C-alpha cells in the first residue's frame, strides 16, 4: 500500500492519548490540544449537532427509518452523474500521487457500483430493526421484571480512507440502528465524499429527518481527525477502517472508545485431501476476484502431498491473471517454465498486499499450516480446502480468526454476503463486535427493570 493508504491523513504525533478509563465530564468538550482551537471548536459543534440529531432518531419508528433508507438510495441513483464526476477528480489525483491499483479500485465509483450501493441501502430496509430487541429477560424471585434491550450507541465516528462506498454504508447502518454518524473519509476521496454527504443530507431533510444525522469533517484534514478522536463524551464510539497504520494510530491516540477493525492478511490452505479443481477455483476467487479488499487472500499454503499436482496449474493460473508470485524454494521448483517466482521473505508472509501479489509456501502437514497462520495472520479470515472432516474440524478449532472458511472463498467475509446488509467494517478484536459489523454491532444494551414499589432490604 502507498503511504496514502496508511496514516497520511492522521498525525501520529499530534496528540497523546490519556491512559486508563475516563469518566466523561458533565459538559464534555473536545481536547484543545488535539488540534488548533478553531478546528476543535468546529468538530465539537459538529458532534453536538450529531448528538441532538441522534436523540430525534432514537425514537423513530422502523417505518420512518426504512422510508428514509429508500429515499437515500433513490437520491444516490439520481445523483449518479454528479457523484461519478466528483469521483473522477479523486481518481485523477490518486493516479498523479502514485496510488496503487488496488486502492484506486477501492476508490472508484461507477454507475454500476452506485446502483449496488443503493441496493445495499434498500436491503438494509428489509432487515429487522435491532432497536428495542429484547436480548434476555426474566422475573426475579422477588417479583422484579428484568429486560435487557438493544438501544442505539448515539453518535458513531468513522475514520477511513479511499472508500467512498463506506460513506454510504456507514450512513445507512447508522440510520437503521438509530445513530448519527460523523465521517472522516480522508483526502483520497474528498471530492466524492463531499458530494455523497450533501446528497444524503438533502434526502434526509426531505424525509423530515435532521441532515445532521450524517456529517463530514473532511474539510478539517488531519487536525479534524485528531479532534474527533478526542471528542469523548460527545462521540460514543469510533470505528477506524483502513490500513494498519491508520487503525493503530486511532487505537493509540483516541480517548473515544474504539471498535478496532483489522487488516486482512488472509490465508488459503490446500490440504492433502482437497478436491484440486475446487481448490483452484477457490484460490482464484479469493485472490483475483477483487484484489484491493481486506478479504482477498494474500497467502497460499499447500500440503506437500498435494503440491506436485496442484502448484504447477495454480501458479500458472495466477501468473496468467497478472498476479506476482512470492514463494519458498519448493514453490519455485514446482513453477512451470516461464512463470517467475520471487523469493518470499518474512515481509511477504506478514503483508497485506491489496494488490495482484501473493505469497506461496509448501507445508509438510496441517500442523505446519496452522502454525504458519498463527504466526502471520492478522486475525481476519482463513480458508481450508479439504475433504477430510477431521482436518477441517482441527482448522476451525485451532485457529482464532474472526472468520474461518471451509471449502469456500475468503471473499465471503462480508456483511452483505453474510446477510447483515451493508457493513461498517470487519472487526478483528474480541470485545462486543467481531467479524462483519452490521446493525446489531452498532447498538448497545440497557436494562429495564419493572417493580411494584420494590425496595432493597
| pLDDT > 60? residue 17 | no
C-alpha cell at 150: 438493544
Rounded average pLDDT over 320-333: 98
**Which tens digits make up the pLDDT trace of 168-195?**
999 999 999 999 999 999 899 999 999 9
DSSP 85-123: HHHHHHHHHHHHTT--HHHHHHH---HHHHHHHHHHHHH
C-alpha cell at 235: 462521540
Q: Are 91 and 108 in contact (CB under 8 A)?
A: yes
pLDDT bucket at 36, cuts 50 / 70 / 90 = low
Return the CATH superfamily for domain 266-412: Aldehyde Dehydrogenase; Chain A, domain 2 (3.40.309.10)
**Which tens digits make up the pLDDT trace of 243-291?**
778 888 999 999 999 988 878 999 999 999 999 999 999 999 999 999 9
d(CA 58, CA 61): 9
Least confident of 32-36, 164-168, 232-236: 32-36
pLDDT bucket at 6, cuts 50 / 70 / 90 = very low
Q: Are 32 and 40 in contact (CB under 8 A)?
A: yes
Which of 74, 101, 446, 164 is closest to 291 using CA atoms?
101
Conformation bin of residue 188: beta by default, left when phi > 0, alpha when psi is -120 to 50: alpha
Tell me what pLDDT residue 27 has. 41
Compute CA 44 distance to the chain's CA centroid, rounded to the nearest angstrom: 25
Rounded average pLDDT over 207-212: 97
Calculate what percentage of the chain has a pLDDT beyond 70.
92
Q: Please give the mean pLDDT across all residues of the chain.
A: 90
| Cut 0.85: pTM above it | no
d(CA 148, CA 349): 44
| pLDDT > 80? residue 32 | no
Tell me what pLDDT residue 329 has. 98
Cα–Cα distances in angstroms (integers) from residue 71 to residues 122, 209, 298, 424, in the given order: 9, 11, 38, 20
Q: Which CATH class is domain 3-11+39-262?
A: alpha beta
d(CA 111, CA 123): 18
Question: How many residues would you count in the chain?
Answer: 457
**Which tens digits make up the pLDDT trace of 76-133?**
999 999 999 999 999 999 999 998 887 888 899 999 999 999 998 999 999 999 999 9
Query: Where in the chain are the domains?
Result: 3-11+39-262, 266-412
Q: Per-residue b/e over 220-232, b at no fewer than 16 CB within 10 Å? A: bbbbbbbbbbbbb
CB atoms within 10 A of CB 139: 10
Amino acid at each position: 500500500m502507498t503511504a496514502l493508504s496508511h496514516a497520511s491523513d492522521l498525525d501520529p504525533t499530534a496528540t497523546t492519548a490519556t491512559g486508563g478509563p475516563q469518566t466523561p465530564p458533565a459538559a464534555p468538550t473536545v481536547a484543545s490540544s488535539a488540534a488548533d482551537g478553531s478546528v476543535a471548536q468546529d468538530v465539537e459543534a459538529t458532534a453536538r449537532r450529531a448528538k441532538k440529531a441522534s436523540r430525534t432518531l432514537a425514537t423513530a419508528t422502523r417505518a420512518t427509518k426504512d422510508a428514509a433508507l429508500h429515499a437515500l438510495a433513490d437520491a444516490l441513483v439520481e445523483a449518479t452523474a454528479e457523484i461519478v464526476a466528483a469521483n473522477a477528480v479523486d481518481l485523477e489525483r490518486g493516479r498523479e500521487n502514485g496510488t496503487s491499483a488496488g486502492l484506486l479500485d477501492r476508490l472508484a465509483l461507477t454507475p454500476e457500483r452506485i446502483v449496488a450501493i443503493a441496493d445495499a441501502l434498500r436491503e438494509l430496509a428489509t432487515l429487522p430493526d435491532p432497536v428495542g430487541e429484547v436480548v434476555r429477560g426474566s422475573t426475579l424471585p422477588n417479583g422484579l421484571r428484568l429486560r435487557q434491550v438493544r438501544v442505539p450507541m448515539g453518535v458513531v465516528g468513522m475514520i477511513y480512507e479511499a472508500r467512498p462506498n463506506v460513506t454510504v454504508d456507514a450512513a445507512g447502518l447508522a440510520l437503521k440502528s438509530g445513530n448519527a454518524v460523523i465521517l472522516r473519509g480522508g483526502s483520497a476521496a474528498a471530492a466524492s465524499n463531499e458530494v455523497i454527504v450533501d446528497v444524503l443530507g438533502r434526502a434526509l431533510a426531505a424525509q423530515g429527518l435532521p441532515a445532521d444525522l450524517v456529517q463530514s469533517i473532511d474539510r478539517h484534514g488531519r487536525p479534524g481527525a485528531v479532534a474527533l478522536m478526542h471528542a469523548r463524551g460527545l462521540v460514543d464510539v469510533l470505528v477506524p477502517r483502513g490500513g494498519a497504520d491508520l487503525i493503530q494510530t486511532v487505537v493509540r491516540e483516541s480517548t473515544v472508545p474504539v471498535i478496532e477493525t483489522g487488516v486482512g492478511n488472509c490465508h488459503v490452505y490446500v490440504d492433502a485431501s482437497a478436491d484440486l479443481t475446487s481448490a483452484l477455483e477457490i484460490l482464484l476467487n479469493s485472490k483475483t476476484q477483487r484484489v484491493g479488499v481486506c478479504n482477498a487472500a494474500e497467502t497460499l499454503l499447500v500440503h506437500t502431498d498435494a503440491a506436485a499436482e496442484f502448484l504447477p496449474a495454480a501458479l500458472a493460473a495466477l501468473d496468467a491473471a497478472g498476479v506476482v508470485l512470492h514463494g519458498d524454494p519448493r514453490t519455485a521448483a514446482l513453477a512451470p517454465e516461464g512463470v517467475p517466482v520471487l523469493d518470499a521473505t518474512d515481509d511477504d508472509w506478514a503483508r497485506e498486499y491489496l494488490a495482484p501479489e501473493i505469497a506461496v509456501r509448501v507445508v509438510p502437514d496441517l500442523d505446519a499450516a496452522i502454525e504458519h497462520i498463527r504466526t502471520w495472520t492478522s486475525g481476519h479470515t482463513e480458508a481450508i480446502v479439504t475433504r477430510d472432516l477431521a482436518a477441517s474440524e482441527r482448522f476451525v478449532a485451532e485457529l482464532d480468526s474472526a472468520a474461518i472458511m471451509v471449502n469456500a472463498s475468503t471473499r465471503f467475509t462480508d456483511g452483505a454476503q453474510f446477510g447483515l446488509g451493508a457493513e461498517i467494517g470487519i472487526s478483528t478484536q474480541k470485545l462486543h463486535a467481531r467479524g462483519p459489523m452490521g446493525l446489531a454491532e452498532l447498538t448497545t444494551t440497557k436494562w429495564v427493570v419493572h417493580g411494584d414499589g420494590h425496595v432493597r432490604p
